[in-house]
């Protein structure tokens, strides 16, 4: 949401000159003062967001950018298009695909009434995928997972040694377990990708399946009654901090959904920061 124009600061001489130089080079305008040129081209340049103060005679820059904004864009569906599995006979509603052009599977929707969503089917599907993935991972590691000696969160929190983040990264990734992970990922990039997280992988297959089921209807955050309720605080490039335990968050989201009336409209949004 845009705000009423808010003063950001004085327009610098460099900004004024850049503006003049642009129209001199691209449109051959050489016979105008800054004030005269801005009166003609200000709307085109920056929607007339530079304004002259009649009292002190200085030019100031204004902005309608909301200082309390959280996201730079959002859309229904997006990268998560096809999140909700619909019950038989219910037509899905989809928004826009994500940046990778993902297409929802047939029978999956971005928006639906609670009563029309097959939550149990979503959980079972997630469990089956988790079981297949678990078996594949164990197979690729020869049935034995490497054991991490130093966990990343412990290394970050440890203030007894070096505070150099690059040195900590080097120490972490040079552990025998991480070297083994890197070796296997390089050999099986298609199955494991670049970012296989050995710390998050549950070695017990049944626990892994149950965790997947519990997470099947969970999102990173929920917008409910005008309140943003999140697992953590999202920062630039999707990095989050202050996350609560995933199992606890799964439980909170499930309890919230269970408490909603059957005619509640649920929508999946892709929010980008």
Q: Kindly state whether residues 38 and 86 are assigned to the same domain.
A: no
Q: Kindly state whether residues 262 and 231 are assigned to the same domain.
A: yes
Confirm whether 23 is domain-assigned.
yes
Q: Kindly state whether residues 59 and 91 are assigned to the same domain.
A: no
Confirm whether 156 is domain-assigned.
no
Q: Kindly state whether residues 52 and 91 are assigned to the same domain.
A: no
Last residue of a domain, one of 40, 63, 86: 63
* pLDDT beyond 60 at 235: no
Confirm whether 139 is domain-assigned.
no
CA distances from 166 to 107, 125, 170, 196, 237 (A): 46, 40, 6, 20, 19
Handedness of CA 106, 108, 113, 118 (dihedral sign): positive
This model's pTM is above 0.85 = no
Instruction: Give pLDDT tens digits for 52-108.
Output: 999 999 999 999 988 877 777 889 999 899 999 999 999 999 998 877 777 888 999
* pLDDT beyond 60 at 114: yes
Range of the domain at 265: 73-119+213-272
Closest C-alpha among 131, 124, 123, 125 to residue 206:
131
In the chain, the number of structural domains is 2
Confirm whether 147 is domain-assigned.
no
Confirm whether 193 is domain-assigned.
no
Assign 250 to helix, strand or coil: helix
Confirm whether 78 is domain-assigned.
yes
Confirm whether 101 is domain-assigned.
yes
Confirm whether 142 is domain-assigned.
no
Instruction: Give pLDDT tens digits for 124-183.
Output: 999 999 999 999 999 999 999 999 999 998 888 887 777 788 999 999 999 999 999 999
């Amino acid at each position: 949401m845009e705000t009423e124009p808010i003063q950001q600061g004085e327009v610098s001489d460099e900004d004024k000159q850049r503006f003049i130089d642009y129209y001199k080079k691209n449109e051959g305008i050489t016979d105008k003062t800054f004030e005269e040129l801005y009166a003609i081209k200000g709307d085109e340049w920056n929607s007339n967001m530079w304004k002259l103060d009649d009292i002190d005679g200085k030019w100031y820059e204004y902005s309608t950018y909301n200082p309390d904004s959280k996201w730079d864009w959002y859309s229904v569906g997006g990268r998560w298009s096809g999140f909700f599995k619909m019950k038989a006979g219910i037509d899905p509603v989809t928004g826009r695909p994500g940046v990778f052009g993902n297409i929802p599977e047939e029978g999956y929707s971005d928006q639906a009434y609670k009563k029309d969503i097959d939550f149990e089917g979503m959980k079972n599907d997630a469990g089956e995928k988790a079981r297949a993935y678990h078996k594949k991972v164990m197979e690729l590691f020869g049935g034995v997972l490497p054991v991490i000696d130093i966990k990343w969160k412990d290394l970050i929190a440890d203030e007894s040694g070096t505070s150099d983040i690059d040195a900590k990264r080097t120490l972490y990734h040079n552990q025998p377990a991480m070297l083994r992970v890197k070796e296997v990922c390089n050999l099986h990039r298609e199955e494991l990708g670049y970012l296989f997280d050995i710390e998050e992988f549950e070695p017990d297959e049944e626990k892994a399946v149950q965790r997947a089921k519990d997470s099947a209807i969970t999102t990173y955050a929920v917008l409910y009654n005008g309140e943003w309720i999140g697992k953590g605080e999202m920062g630039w490039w999707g990095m989050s901090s202050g996350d609560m335990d995933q199992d606890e968050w799964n439980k909170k989201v499930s309890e919230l959904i269970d408490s909603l009336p059957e005619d509640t409209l649920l929508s999946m949004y892709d929010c980008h920061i």
